[in-house]
């Protein structure tokens, strides 16, 4: 994947003032509400009976933060996401058995959440850069599936 300097600086600029915990939480809640089949992976999180329960669930909040920690690692080194996510991809494949299509869906939820929070800043060009970064992340997470 080739990265333009303008794309990298747009991503770094947005990321610089993102509240990762808040964005992670909102994006994960959106995933679980809009794509309810993703709930099946999180049974041990307790009450996820409806949108309000999902939004108020402490494990969901904690997990949003965990996911964003991994996104942060990727964003800081977009040229090497495959290597960065090697073990994480194996975990999602061999242990968690997450259908990799869901990575794209979570990526889209992160993109929408960013656009909601920074409407003036996420121009079509900036959104394009984010879309690309989130596709790179989804692709890297899918690499160790077989």
Positions in the binding site for ligand HEM (CB under 6 A): 38, 41-42, 63, 66-67, 70-71, 88, 91-92, 96, 98, 102-103, 106-107, 137, 141
Shortest Å, Cβ 105 to ligand HEM: 6
At its nearest, how many Å lie between ligand HEM and the CB of residue 11? 15
Cβ proximity to ligand HEM, 57 vs 107, nearer residue:
107
Q: Say how many CA atoms lie within 13 Å of 112 toward its Cβ.
A: 14
- In the complex, the smallest distance separating the C-beta of residue 83 from ligand HEM, rounded to whole angstroms, is 14
DSSP 144: T
**What contacts 61, CB < 8 A, 6 or more positions away?**
21, 25
Instruction: Between 2 and 43, name the residue whose CB sits nearer to ligand HEM.
Output: 43
String of b and e for 26-41 (b: at least 16 CB within 10 Å)? bbbbbbbbeeeebeee
């Amino acid at each position: 994947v080739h990265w333009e300097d303008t794309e990298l600086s747009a991503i770094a600029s947005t990321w610089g003032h993102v509240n990762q915990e808040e964005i992670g939480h909102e994006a994960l809640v959106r995933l679980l509400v809009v794509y309810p089949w993703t709930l099946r992976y999180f049974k041990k999180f307790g009450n996820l009976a409806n949108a309000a329960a999902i939004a108020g669930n402490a494990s969901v909040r904690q997990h949003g933060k965990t996911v964003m920690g991994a996104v942060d690692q990727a964003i800081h080194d977009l040229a090497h996401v495959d290597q960065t996510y090697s073990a994480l991809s194996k975990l999602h494949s061999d242990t968690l058995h997450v259908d990799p299509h869901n990575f794209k869906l979570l990526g889209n939820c992160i993109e929408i959440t960013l656009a909601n929070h920074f409407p003036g800043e996420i121009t079509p060009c900036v959104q394009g850069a984010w879309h690309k970064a989130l596709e790179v992340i989804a692709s890297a997470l899918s690499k160790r599936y077989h």
